[in-house]
Chains A and B, each alone.
Chain A
């Protein structure tokens, strides 16, 4: 097992290359999910705002 991790003495290079790659993929997945969620939130907020503005208010009576 430790022989496998050592990668013939170049373990630091091989494992950081694989690590960087995994991190980039994970960040991409996370970022896409977050963006989708926040876009849905914004759409929800803008739908709510419109509903509120269509309700009759005191200002309109004055």
Chain B
């Protein structure tokens, strides 16, 4: 079977470095516009909630950040698996770049959730809540992945060993998703990601979805930005990096 040319190009560091440099600024612009529009809509235009009043406005950032934290893990684990199976160095670079971004989003999801939980549930933290616990486990998976990488001097070895941890940790993803259905949780059940019609007023659903797209593009913007540095670091002694740095007045 012949694979298309672009598939091979995606394995070429100079090509991906250049492509990321071209695409990232556009993603950055799209992200900033969507965050501004969604933020204004959610904070100013959307009406107060009948039950929660104004504090529900965390709804426009917290679930989105939590969802992106899980997506970041899936991207990281998938890239690590591709790297492991096909020995593709760029895939390992993607995984290593996604990890710190994912860790920061996971911590942010826990922090915003905590700030929302205090005024609505009366507590910042609940040790027995399955969603909070599975998301906390996700944070430790990210941190474990980063710590494991840092423990190896040899980058190839770090790539391979950490890939195994990343793939094994994927079991936490369905646990996070189904935690509110399987166990008794302070979190509510799914109200948007379900087969039935979403149980949310349309004037709240629109900014909610804008912010879903905004945080998704934000993740890929950060990923491409980070990937450029990661590629330069990994390819430091190659000819094309030499030419790149000499060309810029070295």
Residues of A within 8 A of B (CB): 4, 7-10, 13-14, 16-18, 20-21, 24-25, 27-29, 31-33, 35-40, 42-44, 46-48
Q: Is the interface of B mostly helix, strand, loop or mixed?
A: helix
Count residues of B near A (Cβ-Cβ below 8 Å).
42
The answer to whether B250 has its CB under 8 Å from any CB of chain A is: yes
A-B contact pairs, 29 of them (CB 8 A): A4-B44, A8-B54, A10-B119, A13-B115, A13-B116, A13-B119, A14-B54, A17-B111, A17-B115, A18-B39, A18-B43, A20-B108, A21-B108, A28-B101, A32-B222, A32-B229, A35-B230, A36-B228, A36-B229, A36-B232, A37-B229, A39-B236, A40-B232, A40-B244, A43-B236, A43-B241, A43-B244, A46-B237, A47-B245
Contact A24 B58, beta carbon cutoff 8 Å: no
Contact B62 A17, beta carbon cutoff 8 Å: yes
Q: Inside 8 A of A8's CB, which chain B residues have their CB? A: 48, 53-55
Contact B233 A17, beta carbon cutoff 8 Å: no
Q: Inside 8 A of B167's CB, which chain A residues have their CB? A: none
Q: Which of B228, B232, B237 has the most CB of A within 10 A?
A: B232
Contact B55 A10, beta carbon cutoff 8 Å: yes
Question: Can you name the residue of chain A whose Cβ is closest to the Cβ of B32?
Answer: A25
| CA distance in complex: A1, B245 (Å) | 51
Q: Inside 8 A of A32's CB, which chain B residues have their CB? A: 222, 225-226, 228-229
User: CB < 8 Å: which of A7, A17, A36, A46 contacts B236?
Assistant: A46
Q: Is the interface of A mostly helix, strand, loop or mixed?
A: helix
Q: Which residues B209-250 have CB closer than 8 A to chain A? A: 218, 222, 225-226, 228-230, 232-233, 236-237, 241-242, 244-246, 248, 250
Question: Can you name the residue of chain A whose Cβ is closest to the Cβ of B101?
Answer: A28
Contact A42 B58, beta carbon cutoff 8 Å: no
The answer to whether B138 has its CB under 8 Å from any CB of chain A is: no
Q: Which 5 A-B pairs have the closest CB atoms?
A: A36-B229, A8-B54, A35-B229, A39-B232, A32-B225
Contact B104 A27, beta carbon cutoff 8 Å: yes
Q: Inside 8 A of A29's CB, which chain B residues have their CB? A: 222, 225
Contact A13 B104, beta carbon cutoff 8 Å: no
Q: Closest CB-CB distance, B145 to chain A, in whole Å?
A: 17
| CA distance in complex: A38, B112 (Å) | 32
| CA distance in complex: A39, B166 (Å) | 25
On whether A14 and B236 interact (CB within 8 A), knowing A21-B112, A32-B229, the answer reads no
| CA distance in complex: A33, B229 (Å) | 8
Q: Closest CB-CB distance, B209 to chain A, in whole Å?
A: 17
